Amino acid sequence: MEIARIGIVTISDRASRGQYEDKGGPAIYAWFTRVLTSPWQAVAKVIPDEQQQIEAVLRELSDEAGCSLIVTTGGTGPALRDVTPEATEAVCSKMMPGFGELMRNASLKYVPTAILSRQTAGVRGKSLIVNLPGKPSAIDDCLNAVFPAIPYCIDLIAGSYLEANPEQCKIFRPAHAMRK
């Protein structure tokens, strides 16, 4: 079975300068470690909130590193430096509005400011790119909400086959798409 590559991109001016410990990236890594049962490896990056640089890293993780899934953390709010959704849209050929809708909905159960997140998702080649929030607890809420649909989405774009521990996260795949 091939080893799936998952890009984990922390987008934060302060974390990229080392002024702040990156908590989002490790939270994502911990979530996948707990949930995934198929072989995978992480390709992690920590970069500042610069649109050109974010676009370059997303392109590299998709086109060169061959990541089937790329998740970002940070930069989705309304502030001047928050440009992660714009960078994501710039590199994707297809946008997937249902991801942002469901993640905001899931976060709204905890905090009314969930609507301030502009997080989105899209497809570039054989990679699904998903924006997650910056805060570790919100990252878990969002991954719990959308990950059930992610393995089948990656099947449909000819990426790697992902499997999850059903006690941690119940993924859904139509019967015809399952490998024995």
Site residues (vs a copy of itself, CB under 8 A): 77-80, 82, 86, 94-102, 104-105, 108, 111-118, 120, 123, 128, 146, 148-149, 152-153, 156-158, 170-172, 174
Provide the CA 39 distance to its chain's centre, in angstroms.
18
Q: What single-letter amino acid sits at 1?
A: M
Task: Name the 3-class secondary structure at 63.
Answer: helix
* Separate counts of helices (H) and strands (E) for the chain: 7, 6
Helix, strand or coil, per DSSP, at residue 51: helix
Q: Output the smallest distance, CB 30 to a copy of itself, in A.
A: 22
Is 41 or 115 the residue whose CB approaches a copy of itself more closely? 115
CB 156 to a copy of itself: min, Å: 5
Taking the complex as a whole, the smallest distance from the CB of residue 152 to a copy of itself amounts, in Å, to 5
**Comparison of 30 and 115: residue with beta carbon closer to a copy of itself:** 115
Closer to a copy of itself at the Cβ: 8 or 154? Answer: 154
CB atoms under 10 Å from CB of 147, counted, come to 22
What minimum distance in Å lies between the beta carbon of 133 and a copy of itself?
12
Closest alpha carbon to 128 in 116, 109, 143: 143
Structural tokens at position 41: 């490896």
Between 65 and 116, CB nearer to a copy of itself: 116
| Closer Cβ to a copy of itself, 61 or 83, answer by number | 83
CB of 6 closer than 8 Å to CB of 67: yes
Residue 102 one-letter amino acid: L
State the minimum distance, in angstroms, from the CB of residue 75 to a copy of itself.
11
